[in-house]
Amino acid sequence: MTRPAKFQHPDMEGAEPPECPVCLQPYDAVSAIPRVLTCGHTTCEACLKQLPNPFPSTIRCTVCTLLVKFPNCPSSLPKNLDLLHFSSVLQHGIPAKDNTVTSPSSPLKNGKNQSVLFPFSPKLWSYEFYRKWKKWILPKDCFLIDKVGLENDVEVVYGKVLKSFESVYVLGCFLREKENVGLVNVGAFVDSEDDSKFFKSSYESRIVTVLNGMAEEERDELRIILNAALRVSYVGKAYGFWYNEDDKCVYMVWEKFASDLIKCVLKKNEDSEERLRNDEMSGLGMLGMEICEILSHLHLQGLVIGSMSVSCFGFDDFGRVYVDLSEVLNTGRRVNKKMQRARKGLEVGLKNNSLDENLAFISPEMFLQLLIKKGFELDGRKSRCEVGCASDVWSLACLLVWLIVGRLFVEEMGSLHFVVNAIKDERGYDFSSLYLSWMEKVAALLDSRLGLECASLREILCRCLECDPGNRPVITELWKCLREFVIKPQFDMVLSLKPEVKTEKSGHFVVIGELCRMVKEMDKELTDVLQGEDENGIANVDLSVDGNIVEGVSRDHVKCIEMKGHLDCITGLAIGGGFLFSSSYDKLVLAWSLQDFTHVHSFKGHEHRVMALVFVDGEQPFCISGDNEGVICIWDASFPSTEVPIKKLYEKKDWRYSGIHAMAVSGTEFLYTGSGDKLVKAWSLQDYTLSCAMSGHKSVVSSLIVCNGVLYSGSWDGTVRLWSLSDHSPLTVLGEDKIGNVSSVLSLSVEHHSLYVGHENGSIKIWRNDILLKSIQAQKGAVFSVSKNGKWLFSGGWDKTVSIQEISENDDGIEVTPVGSIACNSTITALVYWQGKLFVGQADRTIKVHHGE
């Protein structure tokens, strides 16, 4: 019995046809021919023709990203016949629906075009958009929703870090296991039933889809908020975006602080009418000063919070106040939710502007603007509603009064029918008199708690509570008054502050912004897809006790810790397994604790100068070092460890050349060494044998580094050669066509596809693929070490100075902006950046740890 032409095995029902990982089109024998690359993965021929070739006769696999050999004609690659057959069977068995498209290029059968079924394709984003945002996508399995609560019918979500990781994109971003984080819902990704039959979006694509779908106003607001988090100290930093499979929502992950004002500030009896003691006033003054400083810097970035909630503030390990931007956004959503649920018949005199159950204070003009946003008719008085920096002054004053007075102030706020402007309405209510009466009660409460010696504070707080924003003092004036309770004027040596300009109509206002209006309804259905995006990048995160080195340099506040133990010049530094490893001319490799920077172990086994070392992070961690006689020592880096190496390898000796000068590793597969014999050697880490030797350099191989399937080797001959890690074949040579004086290559650093090359003449050349983008004069002598992390470029060398540059890209190319420098007392031979700290190896035998104050 003959099978019907459209027979399909029951097990195949509902199966998806195999598709190209680039264009998502099912494989066929005409328009999407599956071609097998040398790495074993498959991509359609049409996409292979369009993919960029970073180096001659190479292509980067779209699945494993490995750099593989690629012929000039893709059709010479073998077809994946199994995928062709499987795709044909599945597509032939799927009945045509409304989304069947007739392709002009379809094969003819019986003189007619046949229908070719294409899967549903979502709205695609541009490659530039994807490249810009991909680096801010956080790992899928690094977070867990720890707690979900309801505050004013608004869902508030908190998370926990499942496993530690360090971001290579965000400066100083290191998250520790079990650490708490704040989560702000910025969107939901929803698959329809019909769409999910054909494909399932990846974790990354779901996040990028949500980011790409945000309205322009929401993008602008998110950009301002994230840039403020990036640039302002003592503001909670943003780590990136994370997608939760359970609720199908995309969350912005924020730095979270454990303590809040309610638990930590002024342990007092709220019902007491006793005056505050001097120590209580000093604590209040310090707290108020720190909040003033943060708000002032946020205002300079064009950001106005708009609602001062006690939950918006936290403390670090040293008791310094931080602004928690995740709580700022959640507070704004609670406020907007309250407005959204208000009845249409609600009068302008809405009570509870303080939202006393959450202790959030909103200024009169901000409250009026919220009513206007929600569609309330206010007799056409929008022109009198001007919000700005003075709105935060009003909210901060309310917060300080609450800390001084306690529960009585909250009761007075509840008794006040909200006054949005000091005029009489059509029904004859004199809002001006009501407001003045309320302020008199507040002044009386302050008098009872402060006394005559604090009359200046009472006066300025009352001025801050003026209904008219134009009559309120600037925030620096409040700061100066609070400072008198911390440092007496006769002992205050601080320089006078620059006058602050009132910019009432400028800036962005969080509470009335678009992000705070993206409130998730508490029902069974997900809301409309709410998405978020930014264009400049997210924050640098500093979870260490000390400040970030870049921030310290920019503010001229840099601290230094010295680590002494070596007896001669430092030659190399490596970090791994919670330790810093260092090598030296003294024939030793030392291990240092990254917790207290103390010496914990010495590795002894070399009989000659140790020139380079690397760390191998595998099931069994290794530290590998090489000396100037060609001896390679492999050390067990799992502590406690022995002093002697577990394995020794020997290069072939040649009296004309001096041993090993550089080392690099490719995962746990190969160790690469650069030697004085002009060769780059690959050693197997599986059986510790020499796999191959790569020739081409005309002098000593001085530096090695591995990134994205490419081995980069720098030499005293002034060139950098690129080698494929898949077969160790040469890819290209950089700097070979230079005519005239050749400057030796002494150091390399690579990030993504950008290469930073330090030369003997003090210059650093920046390459992308095989194109020279820029050359800068970074040092006044040889550049012995260069390190790139995020947008920061660190370099050091003969001139005893660490230079810090900021790397940015624009339409005209790449920009290099000097940030600052750190003067050292000896030649710099090695640099390593880790968690906001810069480890500097010097020729005077010391290792210095530089960090911000």
DSSP character at residue 152: T
Q: What is the pLDDT of residue 712?
A: 95
| Two tokens, residue 283 | 């604590």
Pair (331, 219) in one structural domain: no
Assess if residue 31 is contained within a domain.
yes
Angle at 98 between CA 96 and CA 99, to 5 degrees: 85
pLDDT at 104 over 50: no
Question: Quick check: 38 pLDDT over 90?
Answer: no
Residues 620 and 717 in one domain: yes
Domain membership of residue 359 (yes or no) is: yes
Contact 760, 772 (CB under 8 A): no
CATH number at residue 232: 3.30.200.20
206 and 267 housed in the same domain: no
838 part of a folded domain? no
Domain boundary pick from 480, 496, 517:
517
* One domain, residues 160 and 109: no
> Is residue 673 in a domain?
yes
Please tell me the distance from the alpha carbon of residue 438 to that of residue 612, in angstroms, as a whole number: 73
Do 107 and 146 belong together in one domain?
Answer: no
**Domain end among 81, 113, 145:** 113
CB neighbours (10 Å) of residue 105?
8
Give the domain CATH number at 34. Answer: 3.30.40.10
Number of domains in the chain: 4
Structure letter (DSSP) for residue 173? -
Distance of CA 305 to the CA centre of its chain: 22
- Residue 703 above 80 pLDDT? yes
Are residue 502 and residue 635 in the same domain, yes or no?
A: no
pLDDT greater than 90 at residue 720: yes
Token pair for 541: 């995160």
Q: What is the DSSP string of 563-593?
A: EE--SS-EEEEEEETTEEEEEETTSEEEEEE
Let me know if residue 828 belongs to a domain: no
Of 509-518, 556-565, 694-703, 807-816, the range with the highest mean pLDDT is 694-703
Assess whether 415 and 441 both reside in one domain. Answer: yes
Q: 387 and 346, same structural domain?
A: yes
Asked if residue 472 is part of any domain, the answer here is: yes
764-817: per-residue pLDDT in tens?
999 987 888 889 998 989 999 999 988 889 999 999 999 988 888 776 678 888
Tokens of 343: 């009845």
Ranges assigned E (strand) in 622-669: 622-627, 631-636, 647-650, 660-666
Phi and psi for 168 in degrees, rounded to 5? -90, 0
Write down the mean pLDDT value for the chain: 75
The domain in which residue 185 lies consists of: 127-255
C-alpha span between 21 and 44 (Å, rounded): 8
pLDDT digits 0-9 by tens, 354-406: 434 456 788 777 777 777 766 665 554 444 557 788 888 888 888 888 888 87
Cis ω before 52 (30° cut-off from 0): no
At 608-637, the pLDDT tens digits run 999 999 999 888 888 999 998 999 999 988
Structure token digits, residue 745: 């290559």
Q: With contact defined as beta carbons under 8 Å apart, do 158 and 167 qualify?
A: no
What pLDDT shows up at residue 314? 80
Q: Distance between CA 59 and CA 721 in Å, rounded?
A: 17
- Domain endpoint, select from 190, 223, 255: 255
CATH number for the domain spanning 742: value is: 2.130.10.10
The answer to whether residue 545 sits within a structural domain is no
Q: What is the pLDDT of residue 2?
A: 40
pLDDT at 704 over 90: yes
Query: Is 376 found in the same domain as 425?
Result: yes
**667 in any annotated domain:** yes
Q: Which residue has the higher pLDDT, 579 or 134?
A: 579
**Each residue's pLDDT tens digit, 425-454:** 444 445 677 778 888 888 888 888 887 778
Question: Could you tell me the two tokens for 726?
Answer: 């898949």
Q: What is the CATH number of the domain that holds 501?
A: 1.10.510.10
Residue 248 and residue 317 in one domain: no
Same domain, 236 and 275: no
User: Does residue 512 share a domain with residue 412?
Assistant: yes
Cα–Cα distance for residue pair 162/276, rounded to 1 Å: 44
